[in-house]
Amino acid sequence: TMLANMVEHHYLDKYSEYLPDDWIQTLATCPTISVESSANGTIIVPKYLTLAPSQPQAVPEPINLETLPKTLDLYITHATSTCEVWCRLIGENYSDKLDDLLLQMARFYDTKEGARESALDIQEGQYYAVRTVSGDWARVCIYEVKHETNIVNAWLIDHGDNDYFPFSSLYRLQPQFCLLPRQALMIALEDLDSYGDDLYATDVVTTSEYLIGKSLIGEITQIDVKNDFIKMKLFDTTDNNVDICVNEVLLDSIVYAKADPQLIQEGQAMEVYISSISKKGEVYIQIPGVTCNRIGEVLNSLSDEEVKKHKLTSYRQVMTNKIYLAKYSKDEGWYRAVVTATPSMQQNKIAVRFIDFGNAETVSITDIAEVENLPNIISKLPAQAVKVAMHNLPVDTLTNTEIAKLHTMLLDDEKTVLIKTINLQEEPPVVEIFYKNDDDSALVSVNSAIVVQRLITIPNEKKNNIENGIQGAFNGGLPRPDLDGEYLAVLITLAANPGNFIFQPLKYEMELTSMMKKMQLFYQASALPEISNKESLRKGQLFAAPYSDEMWYRVVVTEVMLDGSKVAVRLCDYGDIICVPVSNLRDLDPDFQTLPFMAIKGKLAGIVPLHTDWSVDDCVRFKNLVVDQIFEPNT
């Protein structure tokens, strides 16, 4: 409470100017202030107004979902994700009534009577009228009150989004303005609800020219009245010739952004499907995700009649490396494919490769169709099959038995495998593949399983030598370690089963460590020339070569590739088999040829398999127990 003349005095003292002559009359219009006369002059008194407990505030109800027709006219007002799209219904019971309501609110709150309804005790969860920055009126529900800044975060109940407003813009919402239900209706988009947490999908939804600010037709596909949940398909019908399904447009935009299949960075692992393995042993993978799913959905939606319209009729129409649809003989389904060879007039079949799976087949001309007049996604998306090379297993070295084993272990439409990226710079990229047995949670390295199997199946004529240690072509002529008649402390570096593993004798540990350090200094510090006489490479030759860890090792050639560009080599001191370009080989300096080879083949004495051979489970269990472990004799 304060005398008017004191207000004038304080104002002059603080702002160095006088209040206007009619300031008391202006102040009298404020609903929170009372201007009273007394013997001592005019007194300014604050009003303390509260709602009576017996008179609770009227609240706008939500739209009754049970009364909604299956098809609706609506206007999209706001969106935050594929699962949170806000709209207003169009029609005489919805948008027309909202327009009338907002007009009535403006007529009321723009008068002196309405001005007296300024909100005093602002509470979260309560409903108010608000004057927006543009001067329009809106209904809001308070989400958060910030007393330190006199600002509220409020939900616009007829629009769907949130905004900030100063306390001074809020007014008590009169009961007559609460009769119309809240007009903002939240919907989820059919076929897109699984992308609710996808950041790129959110960006597509919030920026698409087909959604926010558009008048559309909504078709309800799912409704849950209890949880206020609605899922819809939206259609743009402004084109007289065709109705555009907005959901499909948005989905395709999301798919295009994620279309190029990408392997994870080197050293990391990811789940993939093995989509095909060629007769040569070439492995193709498919990365699970939105793109493959969308391609499948579009292809499955095509009718036989629709595809039939676009079938080729002449071999002259065929173009190589162009995307077509081709019928796969095993399931009679249509899939994306490219023609891999120009057919001649005498041929009755055309060679194709299914670009989303990697497998090849020959088909007749009647089983190929053009895609230009089919959904754009069929012709525009890149191939989803990614060819990979298996680490330590060059295709040219795979036997028919090994390829058959790959088929058995890996080809399963319903199961993913784990791949670890070894080298992305190679073409194709190099990976290690892991899978799980049906009855075992342990991961099995397919690469290692085949490599160690090769250790087992060494030709008979070499077995006698191998029993006494790794000899001949295996060690490149390096001296044999002195092990006879000794108990040994050993480190197991590789293991196939109890009858076949590789160990290092730890009596040479210091010498091996010293030699390895010197090799790194020698080969990393010097720009040594590539080997000469590359054309005369043969098994058993000794070289130095870098491994994937960028360290140099003593290696011996075990196989020369057909084109002569690569060789399979064995690490003389560790037992690993790797494939390296011939250009990476360097002559092994004589100083590094004096230490005996350290990778020695061993077996457990007196241990034999229960049946003819060790099972896969036996091999995995043994490997997990011994690899990288040190074993020392009791003294």
pLDDT tens by residue, 293-322: 889 988 998 998 999 999 988 887 888 889
> Residue 500: in which H helix or E strand, if any?
strand 500-505
Q: Quick one: 500 and 592 in the same domain?
A: yes
Higher pLDDT, 295 or 408: 295
pLDDT tens-digit readout, 573-596: 998 888 888 999 999 999 999 999
506 and 616 housed in the same domain: yes
CB 168 within 8 Å of CB 152: no
CA separation for the pair 125, 142 (Å, rounded): 5
Q: Note whether 357 and 276 are within 8 A (CB).
A: yes
Report pLDDT for 121. 86
Q: Mark whether 479 and 618 lie in a shared domain.
A: yes
Q: Is the pLDDT of residue 130 over 90?
A: yes
* Residue in this structure with the two tokens 């009769």, named with its chain if needed: 179
**Per-residue confidence (pLDDT) for residue 120, from 0 to 100:** 83
In a shared domain, residues 504 and 587: yes
| Pair 39, 106 in one domain | no
One domain, residues 42 and 137: no
Q: What pLDDT shows up at residue 527?
A: 77
pLDDT value at residue 46: 60
Q: What is the pLDDT of residues 317-359, one digit of tens each?
A: 888 889 999 999 988 999 999 999 887 666 678 899 999 999 9
pLDDT in tens, 19-47: 888 877 777 777 667 666 654 567 676 65
Q: Give me the pLDDT at residue 355, please.
A: 95
Residue 492 reports pLDDT greater than 60: yes
pLDDT at 467: 44
| pLDDT for the residue numbered 472 | 46
Is there a single domain that holds both residue 615 and residue 494?
yes
Owner of token pair 């019971």:
93
Residues 6 and 142 in one domain: no
Q: Which two tokens stand for residue 136?
A: 């329009």
When pLDDT is averaged across residues 392-411 and rounded to a whole number, the result is: 82
> Are 367 and 481 contained in the same domain?
no
| Number of compact structural domains in the chain | 4
Rg of the chain on CA atoms, in Å: 39
Q: What is the pTM of this model?
A: 0.52
pLDDT the model gives residue 101: 97
Give the number of other Cβ atoms within 10 Å of residue 403's Cβ: 19
Same-domain pairing of 497 and 625: yes
Q: Is the peptide bond before 428 cis (omega within 30 degrees of 0)?
A: yes
Looking at the structure, do residues 105 and 162 belong to the same domain, yes or no?
Answer: yes
Task: Give the C-alpha separation, 177 to 127, whole Å.
Answer: 10
Nearest residue to 594 via CA among 468, 489, 508, 501: 508
CATH of the domain at 131: 2.30.30.140
Q: How confident is the model at residue 448 (pLDDT cuts 50, 70, 90)?
A: confident
Residue 454: pLDDT over 80 = no
Q: Both tokens of residue 510?
A: 């210091």
Lowest mean pLDDT among 64-73, 155-164, 411-420: 411-420
361/505 same-domain check: no
Q: Let me know if residue 28 belongs to a domain.
A: yes
Pairing of strands 566-571, 577-581: antiparallel
Chain segment 202-236, per-residue pLDDT in tens: 999 999 999 999 999 999 999 988 888 899 999 99
Residue 617 included in any domain: yes
Domain that holds residue 361: 288-383
Q: Which two tokens stand for residue 67?
A: 């009364």
Q: Do 184 and 159 form a contact (C-beta atoms < 8 A)? A: yes
> Residue 173: inside a domain, yes or no?
yes
350, 383, 416 - which closes a domain: 383
Task: Determine, yes or no, domain membership for 441.
Answer: no
According to DSSP, the β-strands at 385-390 and 430-436 are: parallel
What is the per-residue pLDDT for 62?
A: 92
The residue that leads in pLDDT, 432 or 415, is 432
**Is 556 a domain residue?**
yes
pLDDT at 451 over 90: no
Beta bridge partners of 71: 219
pLDDT above 70 (res 468): no
Give the integer Cα–Cα distance in Å for 189 and 81: 9
Give, for 249, the enclosing helix (H) or strand (E). Answer: helix 246-257
Q: Is residue 408 part of a domain?
A: no
| Tens-digit pLDDT profile for residues 494-532 | 888 898 899 999 999 999 999 999 999 999 877 788 888
Q: Which of 194-203, 369-378, 437-446 has the lowest mean pLDDT?
A: 437-446
- The mean per-residue pLDDT over the stretch 606-632 comes to 84
Whether residue 461 is contained in a domain is answered as no
Q: Please state the rounded mean pLDDT for residues 617-627.
A: 83
Q: Which amino acid is at 39?
A: A
Of the candidates 136, 154, 182, which is a domain's last residue?
182
pLDDT in tens, 532-560: 888 788 889 999 999 878 899 999 998 88
Report the chain's mean pLDDT, rounded to a whole number: 85
Domain boundary among 115, 147, 182: 182
Percent of the chain's residues with pLDDT above 90: 46
In a domain, residue 372? The reply is yes
Give residue 28's pLDDT.
72
The whole-number average pLDDT for the span 449-467 is: 55
> Between 485 and 109, whose confidence is greater?
109
